[in-house]
Amino acid sequence: MEPTLPPLTPGTLYLVATPIGNLEDITLRALRVLRECDVVAAEDTRRTGQLLTHFGIGKPMLSYFKFNEARRSEEILERLRRGDKVALATDAGSPGISDPGERVVRAVVAAGLRVEAVPGACALVAALTASGLPTDEFHFAGFLPHKSGQRRKKLEQLARFGGTLVLYESPFRVERLLDELAAIMPARRVVLARELTKKFEEFLHGTAAELRQQARSRTLKGEFVVLVGPENTPPALATTDNGNDDSVCHGNRHEV
């Protein structure tokens, strides 16, 4: 006989981590929270709606994103005050990491209401642990500013940090970032992690200049986690590139 699981706590905001690509990375606890909550607050209701449909879950949804998060935060607070169980989900990964959910959580905590994390997939952790770079000390900086002057100033500040640097970057700006890293941190080991947990997952290793040369000879697609090792990090004995040929399938991957 299976043990009876405790019910969800009324008036709680549940931060539900969702897959970053591979649907098998959803947790049993995440599925239970999504099934038993009263409403799902989603960064993108269409994307989260696809996830719920895949697992046969039907729940009312409300959207929160960069331009409505203040208003939605108030609505979520009212729901929590009357005892609703609210599940917060970002597009992919753990809510609050480089997404508008951070503001929602701050508002709930400031109001003295309960927040509970339902951990799971996170691109930051997946990339860092598989990169081969030091993990004992690292600094996560998320997305850099878009303006060139602000980006360079931020990178110069980060260059003084002693551990591994972890950044998020889009495929449209990753080559620009490599140029900037080659100028500011030319000797450091860099790892590009792309399409994490998906069919064409790949880790590329080298200096920023070496990786920039690779980028000139091929198209780099997908969302990136960019990792920069501390000074004097030795090259990896063997890379963990999962195949540069995008015709190679790496396992059975199911994507949202």
- Average of pLDDT values for 174-182? 96
Q: What digits encode the pLDDT tens for the residues 150-171?
A: 999 999 999 999 899 999 999 9
Taking the model in full, what pTM does it have?
Answer: 0.86
| Amino acid at the residue 235 | P
Residue 140 C-alpha from the chain's centroid: 11
Q: What digits encode the pLDDT tens for the residues 100-123?
A: 889 999 999 999 999 999 999 999
pLDDT higher than 80, residue 241: no
What is the residue-averaged pLDDT of the chain?
89
- Average of pLDDT values for 85-111? 92
Q: Which domains does the chain have, with CATH numbers?
A: 12-118 (3.40.1010.10), 123-228 (3.30.950.10)
pLDDT higher than 80, residue 69: no
